Chains A and B, each alone.
Chain A
Amino acid sequence: MYGSIAAIGAGLAVLGAGIGIGQIGGKAVEGIARNPEASGKITTAMLIAAALIEGVALFGVVIGLLGGAK
């Protein structure tokens, strides 16, 4: 029972992160399309932002793992 609730939590966390990273990716591609010379800098900034968001999602996953391991 704990495991399934934890799985729902992890799923919710991943949902949020998915939306966030999707936004970042989309905007980054838009930015690169508008200004192709800045693609390197945009990619770096995108990766940093994605990593930070992903970190939050992974906290959720870890909490899910903690719950699942009980």
Chain B
Amino acid sequence: MDLVLPDFGLLFWTGLVFCSLLFLLAKFAWKPILGAVNAREQKIADSLELAEKTKQEMQTLKAENDALLKQARIERDKMLNEARIQADKFVEEAKAKAKEEAQKIVNSAKESIENEKAAAMSELKTHVGAISLEIAEKLLQSELSSDGKQKALIEKFVDNISMN
């Protein structure tokens, strides 16, 4: 029966020992142990986080680099393009200028040819006039040598004159 009856003396000692053990262990054992373990776990977690962060940073850095590279490439392409366009423009301009120049030369040549031609023509006309006059003179001299011939000619002229 007294196996299952509590004993006051033992209860007293158990309470005393257990409470002091709880106090001492809490102060001198659990606090430093759990503190150290928590600190270590925190450290590990922090390190992992840092590693993750670094990885992320590396990734963003790489992405940034890539973007930069890409932009540089685009810019280079743009510059090249521009240069090409510029060059094309230069060539085009030069071509146009050359064409214009050539046109001008051709034009002036044409003009001078025209002038020459006109001059030649007028000279030719004068010559032709003089020659025709001479011919007419000679012809008249030969033709109008007789009166009949003169009359026939006059008749012919009069026929040709239309009275309109």
Contacts and interface: CB of A to CB of B under 8 A. Distances in A.
B4 A62 contact: yes
Interface in A27-70: 62, 65-66, 69-70
Interface string A7-39: 000000000000000000000000000000000
A69 B2 CA distance: 8
Contacts of A62: 4
Per DSSP, chain A at the interface is helix
Contacts of A70: 1
A69 B3 CA distance: 8
Give the size range of A's interface with the partner: under 10
A70 B4 CA distance: 12
Nearest to B1: A69
A65 B3 CA distance: 8
Contacts of A69: 1-3
B5 to A, nearest CB: 10
A62 B3 CA distance: 9
Contacts of A65: 3-4
B67 to A, nearest CB: 44
A5 B45 CA distance: 62
B4 to A, nearest CB: 6
Nearest to A70: B1
B75 to A, nearest CB: 56
Contacts of B1: 66, 69-70
A9 to B, nearest CB: 15
A62 B1 CA distance: 10
Given A65-B4, A66-B1, A66-B4, 6 more contacts: A62-B4, A65-B3, A69-B1, A69-B2, A69-B3, A70-B1
